[in-house]
Structure 1
Amino acid sequence: MKSLLETEAYNEIKNRIENLSENASPTWGKMTVGQMAHHCQVALNVALQKEDYGLKPNWLINLLFKKSMYNDKLWKPNMPTAKAFRVTEDKDFNSEKEVLVNLIDDFHQQKDKKYWHNHPSFGKLTKEQWGQMQYKHLDHHFRQFGV
């Protein structure tokens, strides 16, 4: 599984985001490209401990979903979205993209960090799992918009 903490995967993600346009349409789901860019910021903000969005431990989510966050199996289109991650208001793609790119850069700069905090919902994650989860989330949504 690729990791956003690895330079090759980081560069790939950066190239893919540059191929997104404000006119991109989703191949599944209801989000606009601006809403998607904002949605992707949420996971990175959690990883960077900038915001926890009121997420709490949930044994059922851990049991059913945690391992899918960082394994090699692609997520299916139209998976349910956690309430804290839902974006329903209109978002300007260009400004959301700028924030997202900065968060991706901030996360990748953590590649040498030794100790990682617990995820507010999933609990203990290794450095590798954090990096894989961030890559997988971005990859899922970039595939949603064809990049």
Structure 2
Amino acid sequence: MKNIFDKQITEEVISRIENLKPDTQNLWGKMNSAQMMAHCNVAYDLTYTDKYPKPTGFKKFMIKLLAKNLVVGPKPYKKNMRTAPEFLIHGEPDFNTEKDILINNLIKTQELGEAHFEGKDSHAFGPLTASQWNTLFYKHLNHHLEQFGI
């Protein structure tokens, strides 16, 4: 797994994002490129904002039981997997706005660095290691860039 906290890797991912266009065709799934970037930005919203309420009780238990290993484990995502409701994008987000937000989220994450994320509480999974945070961020974004052949 590439390390999203490494400046060179972050720049590589940003370069890939720069290759996206509003009309870049997906290879699978239903999202267009703007929706995909808005979808990817949700992971950062969950990390950096209080935009979404945190799951509690049984719901949090089930998310940790069923989704945590999938999200922070090394196994790649399958094509056309279902996503959490918070990650569903409805409507047509602005391509350039979502692209700018995504790039800024990547830069912020890289600049905060591994030490900031070591033991940091995630929205739904509880405390994660920096390595798990890296997997959460990099694997998800890489999956969707590959979805668009980028």
Query: TM-score, normalising length from structure 2?
Result: 0.88
Unpaired stretches in structure 1, ≥5 consecutive residues: none
Structure 1 residues 114 and 134: alpha-carbon distance in aligned structure 2, compared to 1, 3 A threshold: closer
Please give the root-mean-square deviation of Cα atoms over the aligned residues, in Å. Answer: 1.7
- Which stretch of structure 1 is more off in the superposition, 57-66 or 97-106? 57-66
SS of equivalent to 1:140: helix
Question: Are residue 97 (structure 1) and residue 99 (structure 2) matched?
Answer: yes
1:115 Cα deviation after fit: 4.8
- Provide the residue aligned with 1:80 in structure 2: 82
- Provide the residue aligned with 2:134 in structure 1: 131
1:48-93 residue CA offsets vs partner (Å, 9 max, x unmatched): x223512314222212221222232210011111111110111121
Unpaired stretches in structure 2, ≥5 consecutive residues: none
- Which stretch of structure 1 is more off in the superposition, 55-64 or 112-121? 112-121
- Provide the residue aligned with 2:73 in structure 1: 71
Structure 1 residues 81 and 100: alpha-carbon distance in aligned structure 2, compared to 1, 3 A threshold: same
Structure 1 residues 69 and 4: alpha-carbon distance in aligned structure 2, compared to 1, 3 A threshold: same
Equivalenced residues, count? 146
> Within 2, Cα distance between the matches of 1:70 and 1:114?
13
Please tell me whether the aligned partners of residues 66 and 122 of structure 1 are also in contact (alpha carbons under 8 angstroms). yes
> Within 1, Cα distance between the matches of 2:92 and 2:117?
38
Structure 1 residues 75 and 119: alpha-carbon distance in aligned structure 2, compared to 1, 3 A threshold: same
- The one-letter code sitting in structure 2 at the alignment partner of 1:73 is K
- The one-letter code sitting in structure 2 at the alignment partner of 1:31 is M
Query: TM-score, normalising length from structure 1?
Result: 0.89
Q: Which runs of 4 or more aligned residues in structure 1 lie more than 6 Å from their structure 2 counterparts after TM superposition?
A: none
Question: Is the helix fraction higher in 1 or 2?
Answer: 2
- Which stretch of structure 1 is more off in the superposition, 4-13 or 74-83? 4-13
1:114 Cα deviation after fit: 6.2
Question: Are residue 121 (structure 1) and residue 124 (structure 2) matched?
Answer: yes
